[in-house]
Chain A
């Protein structure tokens, strides 16, 4: 029985730890913060007001992962309105949990769009199903050199062919498109297009007219029921974290919070353990890092242990955080659609989003940002409310100024933007705390404030994630594995990367024997 260290106690780290502990390992999870949960952690941003700034929705829990680590977390199937765009005169364009309900709701705006909706939802669901089948297995290797890999590849081909002729063409045709082009083929209502497109650009430094954003829309839909185009897994972040932590302890994982790792120790091309911030050495045969690829490989490992070509590839991973989170304390709710279970999106049109995205190219924040408001999240004193604002585009790399100077301006601008579309909102605000991309980097350890540990764009997925040739979790240093969402299959789900990383550790051991 040998020691395994898992760096980072987010969901991927915990899932990896559980997967390894179940295979009879002594596993230690080292978490820098005072509690586990990573991105799902709640913060008390004002006295009595708590919210998880980034995890409005935790994503789906792949059934394979849940089964593999032996947990079950009840999902409360979304009901009612999952996303809504406020329109003039207090009216709303709403997406509902089911395809039929959405179609009915859209009919007041466009009967054409209402008619198209079920087919559109079905098309997206079909393509997402194909992606889901890729996400449950190690990244395919196109340069198959062994028979086994070639069989994997053949399986991929069969899965693609299994979609049926039209679906298969649609997969190949749709994935490289821009979401703007895709939606042009289906819908005419501008707010509907804006609302759908806003899902496709979330966390990306691109606007809806950029190529590859259609993929991003479909990725967000993987694991969700047909018809639910806006992500709503129905899982509660706190419950997921609690279940994982409990399960980890149950299978004997030791969790050390408040323990920051300073270095991963390497000798003769193999990990020897880690050194913590307080100078302690913890030996281990394997180190599994759930931090992002850049921090894991280029900050924790002495670069002398890596080939320059590999270092260059890791440096080329694009992070480019563009989101500021604003946690808002409210003394009450503004007028909202009845049965709103999801978000209010300030996305009146695709053009609005595209305009907002222009700023990022010049290293500025959007004058009129895309803002997504999540009400009823976190906890607040009696009679009060919490809302979390996702504000995009606010680039980590500013051409002028710095985030300490800009943070409050961006927060004010975001609240004003919401207020312009949702009159009365600003009057309810009694306090707010903003986390800029720079703050998110500091607070959560994400490079450049990128919640996704690297942009989910076509060139950074599957066999390219985190870097080409190293997409199967094992890194060039012997015994070092990556388990964070910067690896295949990536963000938007619970433990997908952690689970595959644990399998990779076990497979590597078998090979060594």
Chain B
């Protein structure tokens, strides 16, 4: 049997369609409702509660814990103050992304790292000769993401102290329902939101507290389908979907650098030596061969492809993750790695890897769509990410 999260006793009875999916060896909900629509709507309208416990979590402690992480990741962690969280990718010596996640500085000598893939071995390899202990706390910690415009309102009623003063990408200790937790103002939806890190044995209590208070504000438990749409709108890259870990890719062509994922802002070129720095400095000078961009499908063109068959346009009900060719002037210039219909923006969106020089914003391209068993191309436009970036996210 696959693993279950600490919230399983509460989440399992709510999954109406038994629509489970695998995430890092865990069973989690694709959606609780039979369709993801209401769950997605909660993200942008009230608040959605996601069980994100399958994330890999590591606690690093010791005099050199900061040095260990700083030599590993591309961002300059020397600027990370206690109570701060930084999102960052990390690379191998060729500057190819291994994984991405967040680093929370919990004290002078204690950090928490989240990762999509198990990372014990890589952390240990990076920790050689350093005074730092590495502890896998993945199974000890449950994690919830409460995301949406009312997330703060709900949390303020249950968290002691409140999160009123908690700024974007900051973390603080608090109690919810008497359980000691840590709350970070982070998320994977591009909206106002928080992530709550809770000891496994207090997980159910925290869930119940949030759900009972949240009921007054339209809180809904939400699954991966809803999360996927939100993160595509937010232009957030997903490991194993939008890129392949350098530790898992079978050939070099399957790997990406942070620049190729348009994560330039996470790459420090002036901090001291770190994994992949030399390669990244070189790439920065010469310019990346690929960029990760938004694709907005041209509605008229899309509609016309269906109209030719006397059909209305058919839109995906959930986000897709199949590699889809992108063309320009008849030549393939890249591929989309995920896409969805944005219920909020009312646009058909995709996230795509585009080869130089075709990745400039507003470049006219075409995306392959299959209409009545035939491959067609719909006109589309390259857009800068994110597609959706509300002021409330950071306010």
Same complex: yes
Which A residues form the contact surface with B (CB < 8 A)?
A: 268-269, 298, 302-305, 307-312, 315
Chain A residue with minimal CB distance to B278?
A269
Contact (Cβ within 8 A) B67 A308: no
Contact (Cβ within 8 A) A311 B71: no
Give the CA-CA distance A308 to B125 in the complex, in Å. 6
Which B residues form the contact surface with A (CB < 8 A)?
A: 67, 71, 92-93, 122, 125-126, 128-130, 272-273, 275, 278
Contact (Cβ within 8 A) B125 A312: yes
Give the CA-CA distance A275 to B275 in the complex, in Å. 26
Chain B residue with minimal CB distance to A308?
B125
CB < 8 Å: which of A304, A309, A310 contacts B130?
Answer: A304
Give the CA-CA distance A315 to B124 in the complex, in Å. 13
Q: Which residues of B sit under 8 angstroms from A298, Cβ to Cβ?
A: 128-129
Give the CA-CA distance A437 to B238 in the complex, in Å. 52
Contact (Cβ within 8 A) B93 A309: yes
Give the CA-CA distance A305 to B272 in the complex, in Å. 9
Q: Which residues of B sit under 8 angstroms from A303, Cβ to Cβ?
A: 128-130
Q: Which residues of B sit under 8 angstroms from A311, Cβ to Cβ?
A: 125, 128-129
Give the CA-CA distance A309 to B121 in the complex, in Å. 11
Q: How many Å from the CB of A9 to the closest CB on chain B?
A: 26
Contact (Cβ within 8 A) A315 B128: yes
Contact (Cβ within 8 A) A308 B129: no
Give the CA-CA distance A302 to B217 in the complex, in Å. 54
> Could you tell me the dominant secondary structure of chain A's interface residues?
helix
Q: Which residues of B sit under 8 angstroms from A315, Cβ to Cβ?
A: 128
Chain A residue with minimal CB distance to B276?
A307
CB < 8 Å: which of A268, A304, A310, A312 contacts B71?
Answer: A304
Give the CA-CA distance A309 to B96 in the complex, in Å. 14
Contact (Cβ within 8 A) A269 B273: yes
Contact (Cβ within 8 A) B130 A307: no
List 4 A-B pairs, minimum CB-CB distance, nearest first: A303-B129, A308-B125, A307-B93, A308-B126
Contact (Cβ within 8 A) A305 B128: no
Q: Which residues of A sit under 8 angstroms from B67, Cβ to Cβ?
A: 304
Chain A residue with minimal CB distance to B126?
A308
Contact (Cβ within 8 A) A308 B273: no
CB < 8 Å: which of A305, A309, A310, A312 contacts B273?
Answer: A305
Give the CA-CA distance A367 to B162 in the complex, in Å. 71
Give the CA-CA distance A308 to B278 in the complex, in Å. 14
Sampled A-B contacts (10; CB under 8 Å)? A268-B273, A269-B273, A269-B278, A298-B128, A307-B93, A307-B275, A308-B93, A308-B126, A308-B128, A311-B128
Give the CA-CA distance A302 to B275 in the complex, in Å. 15
Given contacts A304-B67, A304-B71, contact A309 B92 (CB under 8 A): yes
Give the CA-CA distance A268 to B278 in the complex, in Å. 11
Q: Which residues of B sit under 8 angstroms from A309, Cβ to Cβ?
A: 92-93, 125
Chain B residue with minimal CB distance to A301?
B129
Q: Which residues of A sit under 8 angstroms from B71, Cβ to Cβ?
A: 304
Known: A269-B278, A298-B129, A304-B273. 20 other contacts (CB 8 A): A269-B273, A298-B128, A303-B128, A303-B129, A303-B130, A304-B67, A304-B129, A304-B130, A304-B272, A305-B273, A307-B93, A308-B93, A308-B122, A308-B125, A308-B275, A309-B92, A309-B93, A309-B125, A311-B128, A311-B129
Give the CA-CA distance A308 to B272 in the complex, in Å. 15
Q: Which residues of A sit under 8 angstroms from B275, Cβ to Cβ?
A: 307-308
Q: Which residues of B sit under 8 angstroms from A307, Cβ to Cβ?
A: 93, 275
Chain B residue with minimal CB distance to A298?
B129
Give the CA-CA distance A310 to B125 in the complex, in Å. 10
Q: How many Å from the CB of B285 to the closest CB on chain A?
A: 16
Q: How many Å from the CB of A78 to the closest CB on chain B?
A: 46
Q: How many Å from the CB of A220 to the closest CB on chain B?
A: 34
Q: How many Å from the CB of A469 to the closest CB on chain B?
A: 11
Give the CA-CA distance A302 to B128 in the complex, in Å. 10
Q: How many Å from the CB of A507 to the closest CB on chain B?
A: 21
Give the CA-CA distance A346 to B274 in the complex, in Å. 53
Give the CA-CA distance A313 to B394 in the complex, in Å. 44
Chain B residue with minimal CB distance to A269?
B273
Q: Which residues of A sit under 8 angstroms from B93, Cβ to Cβ?
A: 307-310
Give the CA-CA distance A302 to B64 in the complex, in Å. 12
Q: Which residues of B sit under 8 angstroms from A310, Cβ to Cβ?
A: 93
Q: Which residues of B sit under 8 angstroms from A269, Cβ to Cβ?
A: 273, 278
Q: How many Å from the CB of B278 to the closest CB on chain A?
A: 8
Give the CA-CA distance A298 to B125 in the complex, in Å. 13
Q: How many Å from the CB of B134 to the closest CB on chain A?
A: 13
Chain A residue with minimal CB distance to B277?
A269
Give the CA-CA distance A310 to B71 in the complex, in Å. 14
Give the CA-CA distance A92 to B125 in the complex, in Å. 54
Q: How many Å from the CB of A71 to the closest CB on chain B?
A: 39
Chain A residue with minimal CB distance to B125?
A308
Give the CA-CA distance A305 to B128 in the complex, in Å. 11
Q: How many Å from the CB of B229 to the closest CB on chain A?
A: 37
Give the CA-CA distance A315 to B67 in the complex, in Å. 20
Contact (Cβ within 8 A) A302 B129: yes
Q: Which residues of B sit under 8 angstroms from A312, Cβ to Cβ?
A: 125, 128
Q: Which residues of A sit under 8 angstroms from B125, Cβ to Cβ?
A: 308-309, 311-312
Chain A residue with minimal CB distance to B71?
A304
Q: How many Å from the CB of A294 to the closest CB on chain B?
A: 11
Give the CA-CA distance A315 to B126 in the complex, in Å. 13
Give the CA-CA distance A311 to B67 in the complex, in Å. 16
Chain B residue with minimal CB distance to A309?
B93
Give the CA-CA distance A298 to B275 in the complex, in Å. 17
Give the CA-CA distance A124 to B92 in the complex, in Å. 45
Give the CA-CA distance A328 to B374 in the complex, in Å. 89
Q: Which residues of B sit under 8 angstroms from A305, Cβ to Cβ?
A: 273
Q: Which residues of B sit under 8 angstroms from A268, Cβ to Cβ?
A: 273
Q: Which residues of B sit under 8 angstroms from A302, Cβ to Cβ?
A: 129
Give the CA-CA distance A166 to B280 in the complex, in Å. 51
Give the CA-CA distance A395 to B330 in the complex, in Å. 68
Give the CA-CA distance A303 to B273 in the complex, in Å. 11
Q: How many Å from the CB of B62 to the closest CB on chain A?
A: 14
Give the CA-CA distance A269 to B279 in the complex, in Å. 13
Q: Which residues of A sit under 8 angstroms from B278, Cβ to Cβ?
A: 269
Give the CA-CA distance A309 to B122 in the complex, in Å. 9
Chain A residue with minimal CB distance to B274?
A304
Give the CA-CA distance A302 to B272 in the complex, in Å. 13
Q: How many Å from the CB of A470 to the closest CB on chain B?
A: 13
Chain B residue with minimal CB distance to A299?
B129
Q: How many Å from the CB of B90 to the closest CB on chain A?
A: 11
Give the CA-CA distance A302 to B71 in the complex, in Å. 12
Give the CA-CA distance A311 to B121 in the complex, in Å. 13
Q: How many Å from the CB of B230 to the closest CB on chain A?
A: 34
Q: How many Å from the CB of A467 to the closest CB on chain B?
A: 14
Give the CA-CA distance A309 to B128 in the complex, in Å. 11
Give the CA-CA distance A303 to B278 in the complex, in Å. 17
Give the CA-CA distance A356 to B230 in the complex, in Å. 67
Give the CA-CA distance A436 to B125 in the complex, in Å. 31
Give the CA-CA distance A447 to B97 in the complex, in Å. 35
Give the CA-CA distance A304 to B125 in the complex, in Å. 11
Q: Which residues of A sit under 8 angstroms from B122, Cβ to Cβ?
A: 308
Give the CA-CA distance A372 to B122 in the complex, in Å. 45
Chain B residue with minimal CB distance to A311?
B128
Q: Which residues of A sit under 8 angstroms from B126, Cβ to Cβ?
A: 308
Q: How many Å from the CB of B247 to the closest CB on chain A?
A: 11
Give the CA-CA distance A310 to B272 in the complex, in Å. 18
Q: Which residues of B sit under 8 angstroms from A308, Cβ to Cβ?
A: 93, 122, 125-126, 128, 275
Give the CA-CA distance A310 to B93 in the complex, in Å. 9
Chain B residue with minimal CB distance to A304?
B71
A304, A309, A312 pick with most chain B CB within 10 angstroms: A304
